[in-house]
Structure formats: C-alpha cells, structure tokens
Amino acid sequence: MKLLLDNNISHKLLSRIQTVFPDSEHVRSFVGVTAEDIAVWEYALSRDFVILTKDNDFDERSLVNGCPPKGVHLICGNRFSDYILQLIMNNKDEIISFGTLDRQNCILKIA
C-alpha cells in the first residue's frame, strides 16, 4: 500500500516511511508546494494512492465523491515531524488494513 503525503505533511517524512509504505510519494514531487486539492485527489485516484493529510478537505470531498481514493486524516494539529512519524508508525497496521481491506469507509481518522 502506498501513501500520497499532502503538502501539510513534511516531505522529509517520505524517506522515513518507505520501509512500511513503499512507493509512497509527496505531492510536491508532481505538482509542487501549491497543489490544489482536486489535483491531489485526481493524482491519487489515477495511481491508487491513499492520501495522508492533516486537514479535513478530503473528508468533505469523499462525502461528495465517495472513494477511491481513500484518505487518512491525522488529527494532530501543528506538531513536529517526529511526532507525526510516530503517529503514523504507531498506527501502521490500522492504516494498512484500512487501505487494503476496508471496502466501506473512505476516511480513516487517527488522533
């Protein structure tokens, strides 16, 4: 399972999650730091990514459009990257299960 890190998550985390989430990418690698949500959504949809974000924009979009793509919403406010990395790694099994097995839910919220 691969994640697409939204602009609100540091690109520096990408190399630190590759062992658990291989082939993951950061949005800045394809559209830069000014990526519009619709561009992120379409990129994730066309390449089978699960979007990893800290805001609720994709929650709202999934209510209208459904899924795929799926999204993981980290509810953690403005935290340091090490905290966010720990949050991801502590919940990696749940994230993987959600991304690969869950066929009903579009958004996974992790706090």
Q: For the segment 16-40, what is each residue's pLDDT rounded down to a tens digit?
A: 999 999 999 999 888 766 778 888 9
The pLDDT-based confidence of 46 (bands split at 50, 70, 90) is very high
Per-residue model confidence as pLDDT tens digits over 65-95? 888 999 999 999 899 999 999 999 999 999 9
Residues in CB range of 18: below 8 A, 6 or more apart:
24
- Whether residue 110 is predicted with pLDDT greater than 90 in this model: the reply is yes
Query: Is 47 within 8 Å of 67 (Cβ atoms)?
Result: no
- Please report, for the chain, the start and end positions of each structural domain, with discontinuous segments joined by +: 3-110
| Whether the model pTM is above 0.85 | yes
Radius of gyration of the chain (CA): 12
The pLDDT-based confidence of 5 (bands split at 50, 70, 90) is very high
Q: How far, CA to CA in Å, does 36 sit from each of 13, 32, 33, 41, 109?
A: 21, 10, 9, 9, 21
Query: Is 44 within 8 Å of 69 (Cβ atoms)?
Result: yes
Q: How far, CA to CA in Å, does 45 sit from each of 15, 48, 84, 93, 102?
A: 22, 5, 24, 22, 16
The pLDDT value recorded for residue 33 is: 67
